[in-house]
């Protein structure tokens, strides 16, 4: 799991490249993002999408000093489902 640092006031995009040596002939059919823990004032998903090979999410907020898990769950065109997670720490910069 990768670790990223986010400022609580930033609005920033993160991308998971599923196409890099993984998908083969398959593409992403759907992509969902989840932040854990979900809490008031915590990191929130502002927008998300995918281009068939990569999944993109825009994050806002977060409490300084808090850590979050950001999970991307994709369904592929062949029906397979997979997840990848990112560790996110919020720090005032």
For the chain, what is the mean pLDDT? 93
Mean pLDDT calculated for residue range 34-61: 96
Beta carbons within 10 angstroms of residue 88's beta carbon: 20
**Long-range contacts for 78-83 (Cβ within 8 Å, ≥24 apart)?**
78/26, 80/26, 82/18
Residue 44: which of 8, 86, 85, 87 has the closest Cα? Answer: 8
Residue 67: which of 33, 93, 40, 42 has the closest Cα? Answer: 42
Q: What is the pLDDT of residues 73-83, one digit of tens each?
A: 999 999 999 99
Q: Identify the pLDDT of residue 19.
A: 86
Could you tell me the CA-to-CA distances from 75 to 50, 53, 59, 63, 80 in Å, in that order? 11, 12, 21, 31, 6
Max Cα separation, the chain? 43
Q: Is the pLDDT of residue 21 over 80?
A: no
Strands ordered across the beta sheet of 28-36: 2-6, 81-90, 67-76, 28-36
Tell which wins on pLDDT, 21 or 6: 6
Domains, the chain, with CATH or none: 2-90 (2.60.40.10)
């Amino acid at each position: 799991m990768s670790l990223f640092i986010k400022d609580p006031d930033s609005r920033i995009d993160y991308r998971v490249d599923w196409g890099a040596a993984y998908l083969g002939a398959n593409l992403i059919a759907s992509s969902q993002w989840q932040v854990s823990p979900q809490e008031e004032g915590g990191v929130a998903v502002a927008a998300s999408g995918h281009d068939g090979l990569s999944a993109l999410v825009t994050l806002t907020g977060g409490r300084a000093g808090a850590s979050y898990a950001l999970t991307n769950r994709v369904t592929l065109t062949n029906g397979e489902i997979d997840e990848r997670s990112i560790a996110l720490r919020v720090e005032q910069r």
